[in-house]
Amino acid sequence: MAKQSHTPSSSCCCNPFSCCCSCIFNCICTCILQILCTILFIIAIFTLIFWFIFRPNMVKFHTTNATLAQFNLATNNNTLYYNLALNLTIRNPNKIIGIYYDDFEVRALYKNQRFSTINIQPFYQGHKNTTFLENIVLKGQNVFVLDEDGISEYNKDKNSLWYDVDVKLYLRLRFKVGFVKSSKFKPRINCDLKVPLSVGGNRTSSLYDTNFESKKCGLDWNF
């Protein structure tokens, strides 16, 4: 078989109509590519800024103290009675970047189930500054259903008087450099805590100790 060596690779020059078509097509193609490139570039820049600010040695979140005055699950009617107090600190070590915390939602979870949410007033944090959020109190009762494993873990926690409570911060923030403000970012901060019950419980155990140690919170990438 003879090879078809003279087949033109692009359909130019054959007839003017086809030529024009391919021209327009190429043009649209280039256009779309350019737009895509621009979008990717912008995303890359924002990601870079975001990473720069939240890389491990930048903005730091700590839970400096956490106590439970109550954490009672009534299994007969699946009701959780809770009273959680938190102290958080946020350190912004940047020399030039200020941060607007436009939305600041604190969620408390037990066994991956949310049992309470509270919103903190929006605030601005200047550069090289530490914000102390003291006495954030999540208190009340909620319908709370655990499966058998969950209940046995709850009973373990109950005996030790330390509870595996997770605190997640759902933030919406903007950065400010000079007069320039960035668009919004929505990071999620995760604090895996072990929180002591401060009152009540069976205190005869010698293992009992209520000293909560300050705990660093991490950036949660599961957006």
Instruction: Tell me, letter by letter, the H, E, C secondary structure of the chain.
Output: CCCCCCCCCCCCCCCHHHHHHHHHHHHHHHHHHHHHHHHHHHHHHHHHHHHHHHCCCCCEEEEEEEEEEEEEEECCCCEEEEEEEEEEEEEECCCCEEEEEEEEEEEEEECCEEEEEEECCCEEECCCEEEEEEEEEEEEEEECCCCHHHHHHHHHHHHHCEEEEEEEEEEEEEEEECCEECCCECCEEEEEEEEEECCCCCCCCCCCCCCCCCEEEEEECCC
Measured from the CB atom, the residue of 201 and 218 that comes closer to ligand NAG is 201
Contact map string, positions 24 to 63, toward ligand NAG, x by CB under 6 A: ----------------------------------------
The least distance separating ligand NAG from the CB of residue 176, rounded to whole angstroms, comes to 13
Q: Is 190 in the site for ligand NAG (CB under 6 A)?
A: no
Q: Does 72 bind ligand NAG (CB under 6 A)?
A: no
Check binding of 222 to ligand NAG (CB under 6 A): no
Nearer to ligand NAG, 128 or 186 (CB): 128
Binding of ligand NAG by 121 (CB under 6 A): no
Residue 177: both structure tokens together: 């450099």
Rounded distance between C-alpha atoms, residue 190 and residue 166, angstroms: 7
Q: Give the residue, chosen from 14, 37, 122, 128, that forms a contact with ligand NAG under the rule CB under 6 A.
A: 128
Rank residues 156 and 186 by Cβ distance to ligand NAG and give the closer one: 156
Shortest Å distance, C-beta 198 to ligand NAG: 6
Q: Is 74 in the site for ligand NAG (CB under 6 A)?
A: yes
The tokens of 188 are what? 């999620």
- Min CB(186)–ligand NAG separation in Å: 23
Q: Which is nearer to ligand NAG, 20 or 200 (CB)?
A: 200
| Binding interface with ligand NAG (CB under 6 A) | 65, 67, 74, 76-77, 79, 85, 87, 126, 128-129, 134-135, 198, 202, 204-205, 212
